[in-house]
Amino acid sequence: MRFVSPLVRATLIKRYKRFLADVRFDDGTEVTAHVANSGAMLGTAEPGMEVWLSPASNPERKLKWNWELVTVDGHLVGVNTAHPNGIVAESVAAGLIPELSGYASIRREVKYGVNSRIDLLLESPQRPKCWVEVKNVHLKRGGWAEFPDAVTVRGAKHLAELTGRVGAGERAVMVYLVQREDCQGFRPAADIDPTYAKALAQATRDGVEAICYTCRLSTGGIELGDALGMDLSERI
């Protein structure tokens, strides 16, 4: 995934109301940017951090800037949760995720479950359908990439719905996309959301597959990185 326009550097003043952030450009101008992230953004939204913004594609939009990246301990971290689905879809189409290779078609945002839409549906003649849910990850603690960074009832619901697809004889895969490169492995943040950690452990026992990949980030774009090992135990 390439950014359509060059990113512009700024300094974070504060993030508030989940979807808003006040930033200061290098020339001293201050603006409010849109934050496409409903999570807690632990460790990635401290005042004074270096951030990178993209201009809004719609010139009529009230908020003219989108917050894309933040620099944490010298590493770029992606905070825009609108990107992972597209990054994974592009990577599957290019054959970069071996676990999801060999399918003839990819469809996005297909209705399933109870008022849900699956991120990707992979289909091919003579093969069971493969339902793929993508989760954005940017939290890092103790060298581990962790999800979620806030309680997610919706996330647990998705795990139950994926389990239902396995029960129907189809394939279901949870993809955790870590928008950073500085982690040694992935694990659920069981202290933040023990219910989700338990649901993930149970879902994998019931046949839902889980995989995790990092991203390589630059101010020019974001692309799929390396696979990460996973510890899916539900311990706190």
**Measured distance CA(9)–CA(25) in Å, rounded:** 7
What's the average model confidence in pLDDT over 219-229? 98
Query: What residue ranges do the domains of the chain occupy?
Result: 8-78, 84-227
- 20 and 64 Cβ atoms separated by less than 8 Å: no
Per CATH, which fold does 8-78 belong to? OB fold (Dihydrolipoamide Acetyltransferase, E2P) (2.40.50)
CATH classification for the domain delimited by 84-227, as one of 3.40.1350.60, 3.40.50.12500, 1.10.645.10, 3.40.250.10: 3.40.1350.60
What is the model's pTM? 0.95
Query: Each residue of 100-122: pLDDT tens digit?
Result: 999 999 999 999 888 889 999 99
**Predicted confidence (pLDDT) per residue in 11-44, tens digit:** 999 999 999 999 999 999 999 999 999 999 999 9
Let me know if 20 is exposed, middle or buried by CB neighbors in 10 A (0-12, 13-18, 19+).
middle
Residue 236 pLDDT grade (very low, low, confident, very high; cuts 50, 70, 90): low
Sequential DSSP letters for 121-132:
EEE-TTS--EEE
Confidence of residue 233 (pLDDT cuts 50, 70, 90): confident
Read off the DSSP letter of residue 157.
H
Encoded tokens for 235: 């311990």
How far, in Å, CA of 140 to CA of 163, rounded?
Answer: 27
Pairing of strands 20-25, 30-34: antiparallel
Give the residues across from 117 on adjacent strands: 111
pLDDT tens track for 110-159? 998 888 899 999 999 999 999 999 999 999 999 999 999 999 999 999 99
Q: Can you state the angle between helices 153-167 and 194-205, rounded to 10 degrees?
A: 10
Cα separation values, 97 from 7, 92, 111, 162, 224, Å: 28, 6, 24, 19, 9
Here the tokens at position 24 are: 């200061």
